[in-house]
Amino acid sequence: MGKVLVRILAVIGGLAIFGLAVGLGVAALMRASKGSVASKTILKVDLEQGIIEDVPDDPVAAYTLKDTPVMRDLVDALEKARDDSRVVGLVARVGAAPLGMAQVQELRNAVIAFRAKKKPAVAYAETFGEFGPGGGAYYLATAFDEIWLQPSGDIGLTGVILESPFARGTLDKLGLKPRMDHRYEYKNAMNFYTEKKYDPYHKEAMEKLMNSWFSQLVKGISESRHLTESQVKALVDKGPFLGKEAQAAGLVDGMGYRDEIYANMRKKAGGNARFLDLDEYLKRAGRPHASGKTIALIFGVGVVSRGDGGYSPFSGEEVMGSDHVTAAFRQALKDPAVKAILFRVDSPGGSYVASDSIWRETLRAKKVGKPVVVSMGNLAGSGGYFVAMAADKIVAQPGTITASIGVLGGKMLTSDFWDKVGLSWDEVHTSANSTFWTGTHDYSQAQWARFEAWLDRVYEDFTGKVAEGRKLPKEKVLQIAKGRIWTGQDAKELGLVDELGGFPEALRLVKKAAGIPEKEEVNVKIYPPKKTLFQMFFEEGPHGSEPEEAALATFSKGLKEIQPYVRRIQMLARGTEAGVLTMPPVEGQP
């Protein structure tokens, strides 16, 4: 009976998915048939939806993220457009862009390079924050020639604030006791459980991050708006600004509505100028770096985990599955056309074992003569740095959060909690260490010693591989590790990163490492190749399952995606803690 029901649901699901696939396919064909690029084209882009690194091979992701700009697409489109005589300008909506510091900097660099070809670029916003934080979006806007603000808008330029939650008080009330340790004092992800506020080391690291970001923001605004850094800091202290105040202070160039800004752009370009979405332009004009010797592009995005990884429609986040990433490396290694590998990493870390598996593949690539260059996004810390550290070269933005070279672990003691709710436990066990993982028993003295030895082993392995990969003295690595996060700018000074920049800088370095002249064209090809929408829906599922079972799996995936949140609660109750190479959550607003 159960199998019959599964089959019925699979058929229904398959029909629904088929309809969706057909609809999306027709829409894609219609978009592809719209024509070429007009002789006078003004590109337009809406950045208020945020930016993603990559669209996973997942039908849910393909649908939910279809209108979200992809960083590589934005950078490639602007690079293509700057040398395209048909493109005469750029207009971008930026006011509420929920972007990380490194994302803002990568886009700023792309816009500035576009403007260097004497092509006007205008940023507009209904508001920068709507009486909320808007400094990051404004920082992005300053890369453009002009900034326009809707008359009813404002600018939430008020400086940088970083906030971190602490659950120790809540856990105390519940009778839950964290029994954890770390390597070393700056590895503060466990502070969420063990502290009620920043300890001195945590506070020091956060203040360093905050001040580094603020310095970068002030410097960028001052250079773009032709103000001194002292003037920018004085303006920040006076923020937030109402629209007219912002214009009087020289923070914006004009006040106007969208239609007025578009009309003004068209007038300057010529009455017959046409507007075209930036993503559509890339489809029609073609992507740069699409011919010549092959450079494999591999994405490592999200929390590092063992297995295939995937995409969560509920959290909107990707998981860097070690099986998926290592398979991509092996595919690139086997392909004789691939001369080098560009590895794009955006990850807060995760599993030590999974990180080590990916690290091994980067090492294998180098040993067979295929150089690896890492380009870091917003985050490449802890396990995210582990997967990158063996690369020939590492590139990061000044605002990238990276390093966090350390380890943590432990469990939650739950006996007092169960007493509070009237639930009792009994047990039988076979061996002296059978209670090692349970939350109803504290570690014995021998178990704690074993746990400490495990932390030492992981930390020794991590720091040793950093020293080897970065060609740094072990003593220096031990000084700058300790679980501490650094910005990309600081990491470069410390020798953990080679160069500051994004995709263009990483591509230049990977060509150099492969012995390819800088001016020579290359074909940047994603590994594994992206699946078509049809393949996502109808190819065989995992381990050769039949198509209807794969269709049903797609439906059930949504339910499965809420399970990590349930497991998180269970984790506290059972007293287990996963993720030993990870970073603390950082909530910040520039």
Residue 322 maps to which CATH number?
3.90.226.10
Indicate whether 125 belongs to any domain: yes
Start-to-end C-alpha separation, the chain: 57
Q: Which residue in the block uniquely carries the two structure tokens 């998981």?
A: 319
Q: What digits encode the pLDDT tens for the residues 338-363?
A: 999 999 999 999 999 999 999 999 99
Predicted confidence at residue 542, as pLDDT, reads 40
Predicted confidence at residue 423, as pLDDT, reads 95
Based on the fold, state whether residues 296 and 153 are members of the same structural domain.
no
**CB–CB of 355/316 below 8 Å?**
no
Based on the fold, state whether residues 63 and 143 are members of the same structural domain.
yes
Predicted confidence at residue 81, as pLDDT, reads 98
- Residue 250: left if φ>0, alpha if ψ -120 to 50, beta else—which one? left
**CB–CB of 374/506 below 8 Å?**
yes
E strands present in 12-115: 41-46, 87-93
Indicate whether 133 belongs to any domain: yes
Residue 541's SS3 state is: coil
Predicted confidence at residue 162, as pLDDT, reads 95
Q: What stretches in the chain show pLDDT beneath 50? A: 1-18, 20-22, 24-33, 540-552, 555-556, 559-560, 563, 566-579
- Domain final residue pick, 264, 285, 306: 285
Predicted confidence at residue 553, as pLDDT, reads 52
Buried b (16+ CB within 10 A) or exposed e, 211-234: ebbbebbbebbbebbebeeebbee
Predicted confidence at residue 98, as pLDDT, reads 80
Based on the fold, state whether residues 301 and 267 are members of the same structural domain.
no
Q: What digits encode the pLDDT tens for the residues 306-330?
A: 998 888 777 778 899 999 999 999 9
Of 566, 559, 544, 526, give the one whose Cα is nearest residue 60. Answer: 559
Based on the fold, state whether residues 488 and 368 are members of the same structural domain.
yes
The domain in which residue 134 lies consists of: 36-158+239-285
CA 39, CA 31: separation in Å to the nearest integer? 19
Of 168, 166, 170, 179, give the one whose Cα is nearest residue 411. Answer: 179
Indicate whether 390 belongs to any domain: yes
Indicate whether 347 belongs to any domain: yes
Residue 393's SS3 state is: strand
- Given the DSSP bridges, would you call strands 121-125 and 146-149 parallel, antiparallel or unpaired? parallel
| Per-residue tokens: 75 | 């950078």
Buried b (16+ CB within 10 A) or exposed e, 41-59: bbbbbebeeebbbbbbbbb
Residues 6 or more apart whose Cβ sits within 8 Å of residue 14? 547, 548, 551, 552
Predicted confidence at residue 334, as pLDDT, reads 97
| Per-residue tokens: 65 | 């993220």
Of 406, 353, 379, 12, give the one whose Cα is nearest residue 185. Answer: 406
Based on the fold, state whether residues 243 and 119 are members of the same structural domain.
yes
CA 306, CA 116: separation in Å to the nearest integer? 44
Predicted confidence at residue 586, as pLDDT, reads 55
**CB–CB of 177/171 below 8 Å?**
yes
Based on the fold, state whether residues 329 and 385 are members of the same structural domain.
yes
| Per-residue tokens: 305 | 């985990």
For the chain, how are helix, strand and coil distributed in percent, rounded to 5?
45, 20, 35
Does an H or E element contain 571, and which? helix 547-574
**CB–CB of 92/115 below 8 Å?**
no
Residues 6 or more apart whose Cβ sits within 8 Å of residue 25? 533, 534
CA 318, CA 344: separation in Å to the nearest integer? 14
Torsion angle of C-alpha atoms 99, 105, 106, 111, degrees rounded to 10: 100
Residues 6 or more apart whose Cβ sits within 8 Å of residue 141? 94, 123, 125, 128, 147
Indicate whether 109 belongs to any domain: yes
CA 374, CA 489: separation in Å to the nearest integer? 16
Based on the fold, state whether residues 296 and 382 are members of the same structural domain.
yes
Residue 236's SS3 state is: helix
Residues 6 or more apart whose Cβ sits within 8 Å of residue 449? none
Predicted confidence at residue 506, as pLDDT, reads 98
Indicate whether 551 belongs to any domain: no
Does an H or E element contain 536, and which? helix 533-538
Q: Which residue in the block uniquely carries the two structure tokens 């970068």?
A: 216
Indicate whether 575 belongs to any domain: no
Predicted confidence at residue 316, as pLDDT, reads 73
Based on the fold, state whether residues 354 and 323 are members of the same structural domain.
yes
Based on the fold, state whether residues 308 and 268 are members of the same structural domain.
no
Based on the fold, state whether residues 354 and 487 are members of the same structural domain.
yes
Strand order in the sheet with 87-93: 254-255, 146-149, 121-125, 87-93, 41-46, 274-277
Q: Which residue in the block uniquely carries the two structure tokens 């560009």?
A: 342
Based on the fold, state whether residues 253 and 359 are members of the same structural domain.
no
- What is the total count of domains within the chain? 2
Instruction: Write the DSSP assignment of 104-160 as a string of letters.
Output: HHHHHHHHHHHHTTT--EEEEES-BSSSS--HHHHHHHTTSSEEEE-TT-EE-----
- Domain final residue pick, 256, 285, 314: 285
Angle at CA of residue 458, ends 447 and 355, nearest 5°: 125
**CB–CB of 256/153 below 8 Å?**
no
Indicate whether 563 belongs to any domain: no
Based on the fold, state whether residues 46 and 148 are members of the same structural domain.
yes
Q: Which residue in the block uniquely carries the two structure tokens 């960083």?
A: 71
Q: Which residue in the block uniquely carries the two structure tokens 């091979």?
A: 57
Predicted confidence at residue 384, as pLDDT, reads 97
